[in-house]
Structures are given as structure tokens and as C-alpha cells.
Amino acid sequence: MVAHQADIEQSGLLDEIQGSAREERRELVRWLLDRSFDVEQIRNSLSPIMLAANRVIGDDGTFISSRELAESTELPLDLVQRLHDAAGLARAEDQAECQHARADAESVLPAAGLVGLGFDPGEVALIVRLLVDGLTRVAMAMRQAALKTLLTPGATELQLAVALEALALETEPLLDPMINRLARRALRHSFATEAVDTAERAAGTLAGARPVTVAFADFVGFTRLGEALPPQDLVKLAGRLAALTRRVVGEPVQFVKTIGDAVMLVSPDAEKLMNAVLELLDTAAAEQLPQLRAGAATGLAVSRAGDWYGSAVNLASRVAGVARPGVLLVTESTRVAVGDRQGVGWSGPKVAQLRGVREEVRLFYATRVPHGGRALARSGMS
């Protein structure tokens, strides 16, 4: 203990820390040294409080370069470097010799296995990047959830470090099964909504653009809401919209993403997408969310890495932007694709000049009507 005390004072780990914070850090450093962390590990850590918890979830404190990993696994160095880039590992002037935490460096090895099975290296790098992007958001949410569970008024650094290590020990066995099962669930459903069609099988390659219907729905007056509500309430609203959308959407309609206060949906079946959007508008109103508006367009779009690109995507976004509260506006292409269906009423067309669209667009207002009822003819445009 005396040796620790001397080490701590001479290590520089307490430099520029004053008052009670200095004593708290000394207490934390002493605990970490007792748990076999060394001064350099503590000094190089962005968050010493997390060192013990991070060790539980795989960081053993050792380092390895891309070259060393390539040599030890007999993988091509350029592949290892490419996957490390995709995973967001820090670059250096000599990337091959750049030292990474061993756990971080080795995290790309299963992805390298996909290349060994014949997957295109560029596609595998994209998969790694998307996984890291998505899991980084997951990790941030888990951090927030953990701290909400553990933080107590006046907690010291040591108390929080001990609690985080204990929580990591309890949750670590759940991480792999949770991520594995949810990833498999997403993979199964991606095959259901992205079925390989006859033309693709005949050509032996994926098609480029394909006909789909795209829809956007967002809150009306969200900017004004931002001036009236605290940021955390805006986050909750956006979260409620995303959760509600997932609840009402079913295959083959795909919930693509959230964009701020908006949600994006896509489907090869225009009628099912339209019904999903109408259900979303009705349910949001029933649950007393701020009013939504929605727009849809049918046309060619390209799927890439879970997102969609093309004129139909851009047009649907523009149509949503001119819809009135509680309204689903659709382009003529969607109106034709849906056709006349029992329980759906139409009004229009209304001709509009949309921002960024060269030609005027004919728009139709879609609404649900009771059996035997009739849709009210009213404008769906602002």
C-alpha cells in the first residue's frame, strides 16, 4: 500500500486535479493498481472508471499491430488493414505497425472469414462499417441505461467503477446471445423483404433499380415543438414515433430508418405500404401524439446497405413536405399502383410544383372509409 501511494504521487496521474476530486482519483487509482492495472494503462485510458468493466467485456490490456495480426492469422495484410479501417480503428502514418488494443484488432476476424467463403472484400468491409455504426449507437444506449441504473447522488469514482465492473460481470453472458439472436432475426426478415426475383436468378446478379413504393411520415411543426419543449422530450417523441411505426408495419413493408422526426418506409406492394401508413396516422392520433403528415411515391429505387436511393425516394420526401396534418398524399404512380380498393377513398388530383422537381406533380389524397361509406373530397395539400 505504501508502494502504491508513492507510485501514485510520482506517476503524474493526479496532476491538475485538485480538492476532493484529487482524493477520489487517488482512491480509484489505488484500487486499479491492486487489480493489476499498471500506471501506463491508467494514464492511456480515456475513462479510468471503465477500465475494470472493459476488461470483463474483452479488453485484456494488450496491444497488437495490423501486421502482427496478419502474420499470426495468415491473412493478407491489406485485408486486415481494410477491415480495421472499416471498424474505425485509429490510423497512423505507418498503418501496418499501428498498435491497437488486441480485442479491437481481433474483432474483425469473423468478418475476414466471410471473405474466405467468397464474399467480396468491399462488401464485407461495408458490413463491418454498418455493424460498427449500428452497434456504436447500441453501446451508447446501453451506457446510458447502465448509468441510470448505477448513478446515485454523491457517488465517488471508485464506487462507480466497482458498480460498473459488477454490472459488466452480470450482463456479459447476455451480450453475445442478445446480439446474435437479434442479428439473426434481422437477417431472416431481410431475406423475406428482399426476395431474389426470377430475373436476378436468371442473370446471376442482383438487379439495379427496382419498382417500389416509398413513404415518409413526420410530425407537423416539429421545429416549433423544438422551441417549446426541452430536448429530452423531443427525443422521447421521436422514439415513440419509431416504436409506433415498428408496431404497425408488417412484411413486406420495411421500416427503413428514422431521420430526425421522420420515418421512412418502403415496400414492393403499394397497397400494403399505403395501409401501413394510414394505420400509422390513425394510431398516432389515437395515442395523442403530435399530428403526423405523410407522403408516398412509386417508382424505381436502388437498395444499398439497408437504405434506398432514387427518384421515388426523393419524390416521396417532397410530397410529405406539402401534406397537411393527418393526411397521406400520394403521387399518381402510387394511385395507379394501388388502384381501387374497398375501404380506401380517394380525392384529387391536385397539381403541385414541388421543390427540386422539374415538372408539376399530380397528387391524390388517400383516406380510409367505413364499409359502404364514402371519402370526403378535401385537399390534402398545405
The pLDDT tens digits for 277-329 are 999 999 999 988 888 999 999 999 988 877 888 989 999 999 999 998 888 99
Q: Domain ends where: 147, 177, 193?
A: 193
Q: CA nearest 279: which of 239, 256, 246?
A: 246
pLDDT in tens, 118-127: 999 999 999 9
Type and span of the H or E element at 178:
helix 157-193
Task: Please indicate, yes or no, if residue 210 is contained in any of the structural domains.
Answer: yes
Residue 368 DSSP code: E
Is pLDDT above 90 for 79?
Answer: yes
pLDDT of 12 above 60? yes
What is the distance between the alpha carbons of residues 247 and 280, in angstroms, rounded to a whole number?
Answer: 9
Statement: the pTM of the whole predicted model exceeds 0.75: no
Instruction: Provide the domain count of the chain.
Output: 3
Specify whether 161 is located in the same domain as 184.
Answer: yes
Contact indicator for 218, 261 with CB cutoff of 8 Å: yes
Q: Are 172 and 62 in contact (CB under 8 A)?
A: no
Phi, psi of 367, deg, nearest 5: -145, 160
Residue 378 lies in a domain: no
Report yes or no: 303 and 194 within 8 Å, Cβ to Cβ. yes
Indicate the DSSP class of residue 94.
S
Residue 263 falls within a domain, yes or no? yes
**Both 170 and 81 in a single domain?**
yes
- Which helix (H) or strand (E) segment holds residue 338: the answer is helix 332-338
Q: How far apart are CA 337 and CA 326, in angstroms?
A: 22
- Give strand pairing partners of 63: 101
Using the 3D structure, point to which of 193, 222, 249 is the last residue of a domain.
193
- Looking at the fold, whether 137 and 203 belong to one and the same domain comes out as no
Distance CA 255, CA 328 (A): 17
Which residue range(s) make up the domain with 182? 63-193
Mean pLDDT of 135-142: 86
Same domain, 221 and 362: yes
